[in-house]
Structure 1
Amino acid sequence: MSAAALAIRPLTKSAFAPFGDVVEADPATMRLINGGTTERFHAVGHPRVLGEGAEVIINLFRGQPRALPYVVDMMERHPLGSQSFHPLQDRPWLVVVAEDEGGRPGAPQVFLATGRQGINYGANVWHHPLMALGAVSDFLVVDRSGPGNNLEEFVYPEPFVVPAVTFSTA
């Protein structure tokens, strides 16, 4: 079985907008606070949780690095809330998302995030699990906790492949 190759694009706010928020220091949102000693980058992401008894929680995820080429054969989504990933080391990482096509994910799109960019997947957005590169990497993850099934998985009948590309992981 041959896997379709996926292009890797830089992660930008406009390219990622259909899937959620890019969380990074944006000068347009900067406000000085604490007597001018702190720059606050205001409202760079919008976590959402749905359902009675739901709450926003903060987790730490430790991702094992993925070796490239990497076969993307499944996607997941969380229908009851957004999910936000923020790297704690300054290492690039991959974000793989897909548009919904009638309740199933379409062809994946791959974004290269810098170690200074986080993302917030919108509720019900198809995405691949965490894809650290180069070394074990920790991420702060803002997520939903509460009753209800907040995970749906889909296995592609034909896989896709993220090609072997060299990234600086310094």
Structure 2
Amino acid sequence: MKLQVLPLSQKAFSAYGDVIETQKRDFFHINNGLVERYHDLALVEILEQDRTLISINRAQPANLPLTIHELERHPLGTQAFIPMKGEVFVVVVALGDDKPDLSTLRAFITNGEQGVNYHRNVWHHPLFAWQRVTDFLTIDRGGSDNCDVESIPEQELCFAAVTPATDLHKINELFIVYAHL
């Protein structure tokens, strides 16, 4: 199976979560007109009366080609990742109940000005950086264990190598994820 890495958009990503961005979003002014507030860009959902955490995760670049051995999900809360310095990153997601449904496996690349908020129970690859060490503002649930991990040993995904000058408009031609079942 061949799976293309698609540019991240709210429409394409909506089954998996929210795209956190200001492009084409409504805003209103606050602070005497000095600030544009892009309000309520993602649903933060926390169950079992736990608390919301705001953290910074420093992710290392993945070695290419990337082999995916597992996916994880968080049944008790959403999880958001927002790059702090405008870095591009890749997310791999799938739907499914007890196990990932590999027929729904998708890969998306951000434009450097987007973050993601995974819905509860959405299977995803653990966070990694793409081209350089990346700090992510992370919003998720604090409390007891909230991470299910599922091995997918028969699934291998390989990303094509890229350079920082890659034209994101040509992403479908340059970034291909191969899934060998």
Aligned amino acid, residue 95 of structure 2? E
1:40 counterpart = 2:42: no
Write 1 or 2 for the structure with the bigger share of strand.
Answer: 1
- Separation in 2, partners of 1:29, 1:162: 37
Aligned amino acid, residue 3 of structure 2? L
Verify the 8 A CA contact 1:92 1:168 in the aligned structure 2. no
SS in structure 1 opposite 2:153?
Answer: strand
- The normalised TM-score by structure 1 is 0.90
Aligned amino acid, residue 29 of structure 1? D
Aligned amino acid, residue 158 of structure 2? V
1:106 counterpart = 2:98: no
Runs of 4+ in 1 over 2 A off after TM superposition: 167-170
> How far did 1:169 drift?
6.7
In the alignment, structure 1 segments of 5+ residues that lack a partner are none
Verify the 8 A CA contact 1:5 1:161 in the aligned structure 2. no
SS in structure 1 opposite 2:12?
Answer: helix
Aligned amino acid, residue 81 of structure 1? G
> How far did 1:91 drift?
1.6
Verify the 8 A CA contact 2:70 2:153 in the aligned structure 1. no
2:72 corresponds to: 76
1:125 corresponds to: 122
State which of 45, 52, 60 in structure 2 corresponds to 1:56: 52
> How far did 1:167 drift?
4.6
Percent identity of equivalent pairs? 37
Which string of whole-angstrom CA distances, capped at 9 and with x for unpartnered residues, describes residues 58-103 of structure 1?
0110000012221112100010000000001222100110011x41
Q: Could you say what the CA RMSD is over the residues aligned between the two structures, in angstroms?
A: 1.7
1:155 corresponds to: 151
Aligned residues: 164
- Separation in 2, partners of 1:143, 1:76: 14
- Separation in 1, partners of 2:21, 2:38: 8
> How far did 1:165 drift?
3.6
- Separation in 2, partners of 1:9, 1:77: 21
SS in structure 2 opposite 1:141?
Answer: strand
Aligned amino acid, residue 157 of structure 2? V
Superposed, which structure 2 residues align to 1:135-154 within 5 Å? 135-147=132-144, 149-154=145-150
